[in-house]
Amino acid sequence: MRDGRVYYLFHNGLIEREPAVASEDIKPYLEGDDEVSKSIKEYMERLKVKVLKGELIPVAIKLRCPVLLIGEQDLVRKLKAAGVRVIDLEVLRMFSRDPIKLGDKIKVKCQRAEDGFIGFLGDGSEVILKGRGLKSGKIVECVVVNITETPRVRRIECEVEG
């Protein structure tokens, strides 16, 4: 998922030494021709990022990688248990989200859901819409009334104005 986690990490200089990434995690970010992919490629070259292939745990231990970026939770636990320093891409998702707080006004495009209407922000956050006059495809302005946030999911409940 191209949600900005890797871009955020490289763009903001959060890595100071030569990191390593799992080839499966970085591959989708390198295939595009867009601005995000170009920036990631540039930072990877500048920081001399290692791309690990093969059995990840033995390779990471052997290379003594200072940082390993990974998204799979089972593997994160195994690597940490093996003494490898890990930056978990799932946790970084929180830092690439748009800052939103209770009472903020946001605009979203309505989509029909099983039990009402939802919308999505550019960072992938799900917005649950409550109110009148909702219709699929309509862009509505709403007020944030509740936020449920974990490293993997952010659900925002909103009341539609008007």
Q: What's the CATH number where 48 sits?
A: 3.40.50
**The domain containing residue 141 runs over which residues?**
105-160
Question: Same domain, yes or no, for 92 and 118?
Answer: no
- Give dist(CA 9, CA 93) in Å, integer: 10
Q: What's the CATH number where 135 sits?
A: 2.40.50
* pLDDT tens across the length of the chain (162 residues): 344 556 666 666 666 566 677 776 677 777 777 776 787 788 778 777 778 777 777 877 877 776 666 777 788 888 889 888 887 776 666 666 778 899 999 999 999 988 899 998 877 788 999 998 898 999 999 999 999 987 667 899 999 976
Sign of the CA dihedral with 51 first, then 59, 61, and 26 last = positive
Question: Same domain, yes or no, for 26 and 71?
Answer: yes
Question: Same domain, yes or no, for 24 and 79?
Answer: yes
User: 105: which strand partners?
Assistant: 143
Question: Same domain, yes or no, for 65 and 111?
Answer: no
- Give dist(CA 141, CA 158) in Å, integer: 9
Question: Same domain, yes or no, for 23 and 87?
Answer: yes
**DSSP category for residue 99:** P
- Give dist(CA 143, CA 118) in Å, integer: 14
Residue type, 62: K
pTM metric for this prediction: 0.52
Task: Count structural domains, the chain.
Answer: 2
